[in-house]
Amino acid sequence: MKKEFAVPPVVFPSGGNPGAGAGVQQRRVPTAPFQPQRPSASSIPFMSFDIGSATASTSSASIYGGPIVGGVGGAPGGASFEDEDPLLDELGIHPDQIWRKTKSILNPLRVNPTIHKDSSDLSGPILLYMSLCLFQLLAGKIQFGVILGWIVVSSIFLYIVYNMLAGRNGNLDLHTCTSVVGYCMLPVVILSAVSLFLPQGGPVRFAIAAVFVVWATRACTGLMVVLADGGDEHRGLIAYACFLIYTLFSLLVIF
């Protein structure tokens, strides 16, 4: 005996799936709230990467005054390493000029003041100062700060002495004075190198030091007289100041 159950009828709203029948409704996939719609393939714009058009736009931007960053296809905005100056020239270091000035000091009887008069630099004197400090270090003397301090004081001392002698007619600047004192330090540097092979103390060491001091004094006095106007009138006093400076450094080397 079958038992029948009363089932209420199911009523579907209109707009169902017509392919599945009139009484079946299409199920929609739920989406997350606030989810942006994905653009379709047809809505993506096409971007062309044409090199010719990029070069044309760069040249047109340069004509109308637009900014150019970098160079595209040999554009004028690109930098070339061949057109740049050497690194030593940008730093103000000229090895050929340093060598000519140093070589002019080697002959104290014929010092060429024209080379020093054209331009004065400090790269050569710094090189000689470092050489002097190196030879002193090889002798067991750490005197980097002492030598640097004495050089500054000596340059200022000679600068003040000359300008006091010349008065209002003095045209010697501190930069030129420091350059001359530094280049004329070459005999003292040679003395510090020779003293490494000489015995400590004795008259021989003092006699050799006196020769190098006279050499440096004569070279510095000759350059100062030529480079500064009116220095010939006070040659003796300038020579005395230079003699004190290089005697001080020679005593530093000897002792």
List, for residues 7-33, the tens digit of each pLDDT value: 677 666 655 555 445 444 555 555 555
Model pLDDT, residue 31: 56
- The reply to whether 167 falls in a domain is yes
- CA proximity to 188, closest of 242, 250, 105, 136: 250
The whole-number pLDDT of residue 74 equals 45
- Please write the tens of the pLDDT for every residue from 44-82: 555 554 555 555 554 544 444 444 444 444 444 455 666
Q: Is residue 216 in a domain?
A: yes
In angstroms, the CA 105 to CA 112 distance is 8
Please state the φ and ψ torsions of residue 193, each to the nearest 5 degrees: -75, -40
Range of the domain at 157: 94-100+120-254
> By C-alpha distance, which of 213, 214, 204, 189 is closest to 139?
189
- E strand residue ranges, the chain: none
- For residue 9, being part of any structural domain is answered with no
**∠218-186-125 over CA atoms, to 5°?**
110
Residue 63 in contact with residue 86, Cβ under 8 Å?
no
CA separation for the pair 139, 129 (Å, rounded):
15
Whole-angstrom distance, CA of residue 111 vs CA of residue 226? 10
- Report if residue 219 sits inside a domain: yes
Q: Is 151 exposed, middle or buried, given 0-12, 13-18 or 19+ CB atoms closer than 10 A?
A: buried
Q: What is the pTM of this model?
A: 0.65
Nearest to 231 by CA among 119, 117, 150: 117
What's the number of domains the chain is made of? 1
- SS3 category, 35: coil
Q: Is residue 112 part of a domain?
A: no
Q: Which residues of the chain have pLDDT under 50?
A: 19-20, 22-24, 49, 58, 60-77
Helix (H), strand (E) at residue 160: helix 144-166
- Other C-beta atoms closer than 10 Å to the C-beta of 8 total 5
**Does the residue 192 lie in any domain?**
yes
Is residue 230 situated within a structural domain? yes
Domain contains 72: no
Q: Cα separation of 175 and 231, whole Å?
A: 17
